[in-house]
Structure formats: C-alpha cells, structure tokens
Structure 1
Amino acid sequence: MAKFFDSITDPLRRIAERQHIFFVASAAEGARVNVSPRPTRDTLRITGPNEVIYLDMTGSGMETAAHLKADGRMTMMFCSFDAQPMIVRFFGTGRSVFRGSDEYQALLDAHFDGKELPGARQIVVQTVEAAQSSCGYGVPFFEYQGERPTLREWSERKGEDGIKAYWQDKGLASQDGLPTGLEVALET
C-alpha cells in the first residue's frame, strides 16, 4: 500500500509529470483548509529531488498564498486517471515568489524559458520533506479531452492593467482575511 520516501524518486516524478491536473492543499490556523486544482501542462516543474515549482495564474482567490505566508504547510497530490493506478503526494512547505521580483524572473528564465503565461501572478516553490505513493485503486478512469482556454482568454481580455485592478480588488486577502503578499506584484 502506501510507501514514503525522503525525496521525489524518478518513478514518482514520471507519474506526477504525466498527469494533466494536480491538487494543492494548504491551511493556516483559524482559516479554512483549502484545496485547489492546478493544470500541470505549462505550469509544473520538478526542479530537484526535494523541490517543485508551479507558475500560478490569476484566479478567483489567493488562499494558497495567504496560507503559505501564515503557516507554510503545503501538500501536492497527483492522481493517475489512466491505466496505471497511483496517487502521489508531496508533503512540505511552500512560499510564494511574486511577479516582478528578481527571483520570479530568475525562476521564469531557468524553468519556463522566460515565457510568462497571461495572468501569471506568482511562482509557488515547494520544499518537499517527504513523498508518498499509494495504490490509487479507488481512483476512477477519466479520459483527458484537452485544456480549457477560458482562464487564458479571460486574462488576455483583461490585459495588464485589468489584471492588476483585479488583484487589487480580489487578491490582497484570503476569504478568511489573511494577507496574501500580492501587493508586491502590484508595485511593478
């Protein structure tokens, strides 16, 4: 059944990178536990045996960033929906690297060929303290049909100024009132 590892092994890496979606869970004291789906394609990079990053796009909330700022704990989960049943989890701590910072640009250059997707607001960096594999026998089969273009198209229509206005209105605090740190990206 479940097996734990001190780092991301090559088989775990291959399983994670093959998925089209992953889930990020975070929490902070006094706040709701948050679980968010994220697209793997174009956004996820496993940068070492104990580090994972993903390019985070503007969405309806900033719960993960707020929780990482307040607490730091983060879990990523990948479910295999195809022939090989498997669930992979990365446990650790995370931090937000906001758009406009030198570190953000360095990560973008090193791991995304310097290409920023429309609406990108941060890169989340997870330090993986443990990885886990489990059977996934209860995960149903799903057939991948493609990526939804909606978020990218929305971001393109908003444009740079519209995205920043949206961040100002909806991105500075979590639903529980915790600060996200996004104001740093507004200054650039």
Structure 2
Amino acid sequence: MGKMFEQIQEAHMDFIAQQKMFFVATAGDDTSVNLSPKGMDSFKVVDTQKVVWLNLTGSGNETAAHLLENNRMTIMFCAFEGNPLILRLYGTAKALYKGDEKWNNYIKIFGNPMGARQIFEVAIQRVQTSCGFGVPLYQYDQQRTLLPQWAEKKGPDGINEYWEKKNMQTIDGKPTGMKT
C-alpha cells in the first residue's frame, strides 16, 4: 500500500535528484490523456511544495493546452536502478514563457538551452510513494543528445518557425497558448 504525504520530504528530494527520467500526465476537459517521458536535466525541486520542469521543443505541445482547461498535473518517478520505489507528485501547474515574470529566475537553473519552450511550475498538493516491486531494472547508459543538437542547428528563428507550424494546436485541435 502506498504512503501519502502533504509535501515533498528530504528523502523524496534525494530520490528525485538520482533519477534520469520522469513522466508527466495531464488531460484537458475533453481531450486524450497525455503521458510523456522526460529526461535530461529538466526537473528541479524548488521547495517542499513547489517543483519546476523545463519543457524543450517537441513535436507536440499537449501539456500546455491541457493546463489551459484543467491545471491538474501528475509527475511520476520510478527507480529503474537500486531499491524499488515509485514516487508521484500531484498538483496544479501553470506554463511560464519567455517574458513572463518568473521565467528569468527559473531558466537560469536550467542553463537556458536552445529550444526552451515552457517552464512548468507545479504547486504540490500530495506526494505518494509505492513499492515499485514490479518495475524492471534497467541500466542507464546516457542521455540522448539529438534534441539539443537539433535545436542548436535550427537556431532561434528556426525554432520559432517550428513552434508556429507544430506547437500551436494539440492533436485534439486545442490551442496551446504558445507564445513565439
């Protein structure tokens, strides 16, 4: 049986810092549920009640659109190495964009990579841990470098063109709120 917490504990922060991948789930009012794997150094715990994660340019932009209709977000970490554990963060989120008041404060902690699309700020309402006994063991090799290389090659103008072509609507036809 899982354990529930009202905030992120120190042991949770240590576990999160060790993970190489996390998963984000959102859904709009009448959309498909979107579940996305995330990697790279794109997740930071701000404090026991707040986390942020950097969303780099991708082929879709479902999360941003979903938050315009329903700001709930679940983030999940799984131990694929070492002791088994699943940790879920439940909260409400908002998308921050270049030009937003908090953007400059947060982007610094991620190194301001080319292709930074949004930063999602999540107010944590509940933390749940569970055993993870059924999660397989995997050996980590390395982060992929294709996305940062692609973004560098595109450059700022190419990224903006890509956003306008691919990131303004979801697969369900919803507006994403994307700013270029």
For this structure pair, what is the TM-score category when the shorter chain's length is used for normalisation?
A: over 0.9
Residue in 1 aligned with 2:76? 77
**Equivalent residue of 1:142, what SS?**
coil
AA aligned to 2:106 is: L
Measured after TM superposition, the shift of residue 157 of structure 1 is: 0.7
Inter-partner Cα distance in structure 1 for 2:82 and 2:106: 33
**Equivalent residue of 2:139, what SS?**
coil
Q: Aligned to 1:116, which of 112, 118, 138?
A: 112
Measured after TM superposition, the shift of residue 122 of structure 1 is: 0.9
The residue correspondences of 1:7-18 to structure 2 (distance < 5 A) are 7-18=7-18
Inter-partner Cα distance in structure 1 for 2:64 and 2:121: 11
Residue in 2 aligned with 1:38? 38
**Equivalent residue of 1:55, what SS?**
strand
Ranges in structure 2 where 5+ consecutive residues have no aligned partner: none
Residue in 2 aligned with 1:174? 170
Equivalent pair of 1:99/1:123 in contact (CA under 8 Å): no
The residue correspondences of 1:116-155 to structure 2 (distance < 5 A) are 116-155=112-151
Inter-partner Cα distance in structure 1 for 2:99 and 2:161: 16
AA aligned to 2:142 is: G
Residue in 2 aligned with 1:50? 49
Which 10-residue stretch deviates more, 20-29 or 9-18?
A: 9-18
> Scaled by the length of structure 2, what TM-score is found?
0.96
Inter-partner Cα distance in structure 2 for 1:120 and 1:3: 34
Inter-partner Cα distance in structure 1 for 2:17 and 2:67: 23
**Equivalent residue of 1:102, what SS?**
coil
Inter-partner Cα distance in structure 2 for 1:108 and 1:159: 18
AA aligned to 1:47 is: V
Aligned length: 180
Inter-partner Cα distance in structure 2 for 1:3 and 1:35: 23
| 4+ long deviations beyond 3 Å | none
